Structure 1
Amino acid sequence: MLRAPFVIVFNLLRLLRYLWRWLFFKLGRRLARRRQLWVRLNLGTRRAFGPAHGLAARFQRQESYLQLRDDVDRLASSPYVKGVVLVCDDFAEGAARTADLRELILRLRRAGKRVITHTHALTGNDFDLASATDEVLLTPGGRLYLFGRRFEEIFAAELLEKVGVAAQFVHIGPFKTAAHRMIHNHGTPPQRLMMTQLLETLEQERLERQATSLALSPQTLDAAVSHMPLDARRAQAMGLVGPELHRAQLKDYLAMGARNDGFIPHPELATPDGPDERRAETNSTPAERQPVDLRSAEDWLASDPGPFQPTPLFRRRERIAVMDLSGMIVMSSTDIPGQSAASVQPSEVLPTLNALRRDPRVRAVILHINSPGGSALASEILWEAIERLRREKPVIAYCSDVAASGGYYMAVACDRIVCQPETLTGSIGVIAGKLALPGVFENLHLHVEHRERNPVGRFQSLSAPLPERALANLQQDARAFYRMFLRRVGHARQLPRRRLHRYARGRVYTGRDALIRGLVDELGGFDRAFELACELGELSAERADLHFTSHRRVSLPALLRRQVRAELPALSTLDTLRTATALLRQEQLLAICPLRPANASPS
């Protein structure tokens, strides 16, 4: 009862503020009623899945995917917005996240908004995104660099041997290939088979989707690769893009209507050879132009008050909780670079899962999983915590770019697994081992003396390789965890052990292939995961409040390090090497997925 008077006063103050904003907004739209409104939406660079909280929010340069999803809903429902211009410079999302962004574009188009892409160049997944829009405009001088997917692996076993590094690994399953590049000089037949099938499946998925969007045949699109790179005019002649246009000419182009040959660039903005050619093709005059108001999405959404939503008087709205599990899976004691920003640790995740389990407002939970794996022990601890949550509330796993090995281990604890056709998943297997540097110490004339009671204790030594007995023990231990991995998956997916073993052995699948084998439940994006959560939580999607819950505790020094890495991309490669070394020295791995989910090469 004490809550009611405070909520009433709070709602009255909010209503007064809303009415003040609404008055000025309506006045502004009244004055601009003769102008068609277009909104510019920037989709460049990689986005975090959910918004940061606290101090970390000040270091998040771009809004998250969940915030972008809300923005698109507001743009789609706005009666004032005629269309949206997407700017895709420096696009860096993975294939599965790109599929989610394509769905947002289609949502705008279904709402009657025209969507146009403008970019300086198209190199991979950005073309996949752009093909979902009504029209693609390329800057004169811009190029298409669509060379198709390409997986490249460098095998360093011979080099490591020459410099004196001993790579000692055991792996359960011939397809568990994360360490193959350090212990083999060439790819093994199972590895080549897996990589070839992944490449063919991903390419076929891409070609069919883009061919449908562009009204071309998959064969035509596939053949276009041999002509790359393409300039804007040749790409237009092949039906891949629309007219070439500088960004400063967008208002003029939109004023004459998209796909209108009557567009006449402003004389001060036109290219030397552009206006005359277009004037010769049309009898249109500048009088036909309808003025355009082109505003950034950030400015427009800040000015648009939207509908007024009062705070409930006695009870807060029931919610669907969303939690992001992205990054390497590690124990808290593992010291890896940037772990506070890009890792999944039980010490951080478990308290949040327990809070969601106790919160009566939470009807269901969506776990966004984007992890290549990591520590076997940490994966088991997280599996148990998710399983305990699932016994009380529905839990949906939405697997994004990659949910392999330890990432898939977490997913099987959920009620349903949803992923995109391009998601890399599976990799049911175990790998363990170490790198030793005896030859390096010798070449550097460093003399190492050690005392030991048993040679098995060399596992954490950089200077001494493991004896055969220790490797045999490691192999036996990895097999024991592999059997437990199979039990977890077999019980969750209701698959016989013999059949599951054929699907396992460390093999990585695309989402579509995983669905055929019963490893996932559905193909779809985040919206489908949200629908399932509402359905299992017995909650209307219109009434459900989507609430993002963060488990990350980020210190100020970690945030500053993250900013430095963003400014110096070369450090990310060094971090990767240090991360792998730290994990292999300290923990048994379910594995690190050997594939990079986001543009391993231009696709």
Structure 2
Amino acid sequence: MAVFDVLGRDRQVVLELDLARGVLTARPDNPLEAIQLINSPTLQGLRDHLADAATDEHVRGLIVHAVPGLDLAHAEEVAELIETFGRHRPTMAWAESFGELSGGLVAYAVAAAAHRVWVQPTGMLSIEGLQLEITLLRGLFEKAGLTPQFGQRHEYKTAANTYSAETVTGPHREMMQRIGESITDGLVAAIARRRSVDETIVRSAMDASPVDPERALELGLIDRIGYRDEAYAAALEEWGAAPEALVFAHRHTTPAARLAKLRRSQPKVAVVTLRGAIVTGRGTRSLTGGQSAGADVVDEQLRHALRDDEVRAVVFAVDSPGGSAVASDFIRRSVLRLRQAGKPVVAHMGTMAASGGYYVSMASNEIVAQAATLTGSIGVLGGKVVTQGLYERLGLVRETLPFSEAAGTFSPATPFSDADWERLDRWLDRVYLDFTTFAARDRGMDYDDLEKLARGRVWTGEDARTRGLVDHIGGRRRAIERACALAGIDESKARVTHLGENGLAQLLRPARSSEHTGSGANLGGIESMVTTLLGRVGIVAPGVLSTPWAFRLK
């Protein structure tokens, strides 16, 4: 079906992806994010629209404004979408500068996925690479009169070290060193392949950063030097399109996509999303935008997919640092029920799916992750921060009156007794044995082989794949492709539906029973806001299967 303008002429379209406007990786949690949604694409929207537009005869090409801001795992998927689109249509990326003395590597990695890369004459390639930091809070706690007491299983479960270690341990340093090496190796390889240059050239540019545009041009890392107007004019002229042809990539809908939405008889692939710390109950959404994943809500959506006869497969999108062990196991049971019913489940890991995030994913038929996804952390920690010293420094008097031997075990008022440590250790051993036993069973591995990869160690997606903890590297499209293949359905005829992403009217509609999906998470009050804030800086963790240290790559 041809696309015409008001005069009946064949309409040309040049897609534009302006990363300066941001890319929303989830539905907005608050009114401010909803306002931003007006002109910002969602990651899901880019997945759908770029895939459809790639084969639209009216689309002449794609222009990308590449700027810093995306988390690395999301940037990898956007780059993959640009590269896939580029197999059918020409693409061009431009930037004022890839960083200004810092922070340009991820933005440049996205731009490198385009056929041609432009940079402003006064810009630079500030692609100096990654630097990871380890921060220990023990000294700060002691100055405040706080005493951290934590147990961990095992030496790589370094979230406990964040609170209680006085120095950086060897396993902690080893794990972080490997994470940095794996991510750097992946970025260098991807850039070199997309730019058709040797990896040594990319590494030399990283070591010599910032690199001026003229030198970047000599090295083959960019194609042209010029301002935005020059880059746009050159692309539009080469593609035979006028400036009026420009349209945001997330706003262009092809006729084929519109027709596909009308076909209700297609088999469905349901997408169920788990985002945030995993907790029991329904979770919370605070007014500050914080979010936790309530196991009851996730289970409802998985059960909905189980009951719906039109749903042939499920993509389980997980972006979580973990949390409660029992909540994670509750969700894992729902995944297993889908598999037992003959509905394959493919987990798609986002920026992080570690500890409890890995627990809920591991029962899936297959797992897809990005190369830079942080995953694994098959381990457990538990403890408390004793506040008695802080009370004394503040001149406060506090007296505790326990009415059983175990009453004050997890009270911050008093340190662990020997009996308390025995109870905690027994509990941590049990949770760790459950986690590793289930992981070995779910992944079809010998227990001893799995346990060597566990011990609380965090892996990148690529390292997890080579060790059998993950099956594929790729984005959401790859997960949908694998779900369709496992279900034996034609991907082109499948209808992807997102469970739990309801409008306001649906959220306000009461559920009939717990067997029916109703409103999502609860809105939290003051306590929720404080907990969210502390969680974001790594001070509190939602459960024993947590990776609470703040860790973001941009």
Residue 550, structure 1, aligned to residue 536, structure 2 = no
Residue 228, structure 1, aligned to residue 209, structure 2 = yes
SS at match of 1:110: coil
Residue 109, structure 1, aligned to residue 86, structure 2 = yes
Deviation at 1:91, TM superposition (A): 2.8
Aligned to 1:207: 188
C-alpha deviations, 1:81-119, integer Å up to 9, x for none? 22211112343232x322222221122211133333334
TM-aligned CA distance change 1:178 to 1:435, over 3 Å: same
Residue 457, structure 1, aligned to residue 407, structure 2 = yes
Aligned to 1:342: 291
Residue 590, structure 1, aligned to residue 540, structure 2 = no
Aligned to 2:337: 388
Deviation at 1:50, TM superposition (A): 5.5
Aligned to 1:301: 252
TM-score if structure 2 supplies the norm length?
A: 0.86
Moved more, 377-386 or 415-424: 415-424
Alignment of 1:94-173 (within 5 A): 94=72, 96-122=73-99, 123-173=104-154
Deviation at 1:577, TM superposition (A): 3.9
Q: 2:470 aligns with which of 504, 514, 520?
A: 520
SS at match of 1:456: coil
Gaps of 5+ in 1: 1-18, 259-288, 563-570
- d(CA) in 1 for partners of 2:549 and 2:148? 17
Aligned to 1:188: 169
Is the 8 Å Cα contact of residues 171 and 430 (structure 1) preserved in structure 2? yes
C-alpha deviations, 1:356-389, integer Å up to 9, x for none? 1000110000001111111111111111111112
AA aligned opposite 1:365: V
Aligned to 1:238: 219
Moved more, 55-64 or 474-483: 55-64
- d(CA) in 1 for partners of 2:484 and 2:433? 34
Aligned to 2:18: 42
Deviation at 1:345, TM superposition (A): 0.9
Is the 8 Å Cα contact of residues 283 and 295 (structure 2) preserved in structure 1? no
TM-aligned CA distance change 1:428 to 1:233, over 3 Å: same
AA aligned opposite 1:78: D
Aligned to 1:282: none
Residue 404, structure 1, aligned to residue 375, structure 2 = no
Deviation at 1:232, TM superposition (A): 3.1
Q: 2:304 aligns with which of 328, 335, 355?
A: 355
Residue 25, structure 1, aligned to residue 5, structure 2 = yes
SS at match of 2:493: coil
- d(CA) in 1 for partners of 2:383 and 2:308? 42
TM-aligned CA distance change 1:448 to 1:572, over 3 Å: closer
Query: Based on CA coordinates, which of the two structures has the bigger radius of gyration?
Result: 1
Alignment of 1:404-443 (within 5 A): 404-443=354-393
TM-aligned CA distance change 1:386 to 1:597, over 3 Å: farther
Is the 8 Å Cα contact of residues 340 and 553 (structure 1) preserved in structure 2? no
Moved more, 521-530 or 368-377: 521-530
Is the 8 Å Cα contact of residues 340 and 552 (structure 1) preserved in structure 2? no
Give aligned-pair identity as a percent. 27
C-alpha deviations, 1:151-185, integer Å up to 9, x for none? 10112212322321110100011000012122112
Aligned to 1:178: 159
Is the 8 Å Cα contact of residues 320 and 534 (structure 1) preserved in structure 2? yes
- d(CA) in 2 for partners of 1:578 and 1:452? 33
Aligned to 2:60: 82
How many residues get paired?
Answer: 530
Q: 2:328 aligns with which of 362, 379, 404?
A: 379
Deviation at 1:580, TM superposition (A): 5.3
TM-aligned CA distance change 1:545 to 1:199, over 3 Å: same
TM-aligned CA distance change 1:340 to 1:549, over 3 Å: farther
AA aligned opposite 1:227: A
Is the 8 Å Cα contact of residues 341 and 552 (structure 1) preserved in structure 2? no
SS at match of 2:135: coil
AA aligned opposite 1:82: R
SS at match of 2:63: strand
AA aligned opposite 1:423: T
| RMSD of aligned Cα (Å) | 3.4
Moved more, 546-555 or 192-201: 546-555
AA aligned opposite 1:106: E
- d(CA) in 2 for partners of 1:553 and 1:165? 45
TM-score if structure 1 supplies the norm length?
A: 0.79
Is the 8 Å Cα contact of residues 328 and 344 (structure 1) preserved in structure 2? yes
TM-aligned CA distance change 1:151 to 1:578, over 3 Å: closer
Is the 8 Å Cα contact of residues 207 and 222 (structure 1) preserved in structure 2? yes
Residue 575, structure 1, aligned to residue 552, structure 2 = no
SS at match of 1:161: helix
C-alpha deviations, 1:381-438, integer Å up to 9, x for none? 1111111122111111112222111111011111111222222211111000111222
- d(CA) in 1 for partners of 2:495 and 2:29? 18
Moved more, 531-540 or 477-486: 531-540
Deviation at 1:27, TM superposition (A): 3.0
The structure 1 segments of at least 4 consecutive aligned residues displaced by more than 6 Å after TM superposition are 52-57, 310-313, 333-336, 551-556, 558-562, 571-574
AA aligned opposite 1:575: L
- d(CA) in 2 for partners of 1:377 and 1:560? 20
Aligned to 2:516: none
TM-aligned CA distance change 1:296 to 1:255, over 3 Å: closer
Is the 8 Å Cα contact of residues 25 and 305 (structure 1) preserved in structure 2? no
Residue 474, structure 1, aligned to residue 474, structure 2 = no
Deviation at 1:337, TM superposition (A): 5.1
Moved more, 545-554 or 510-519: 545-554
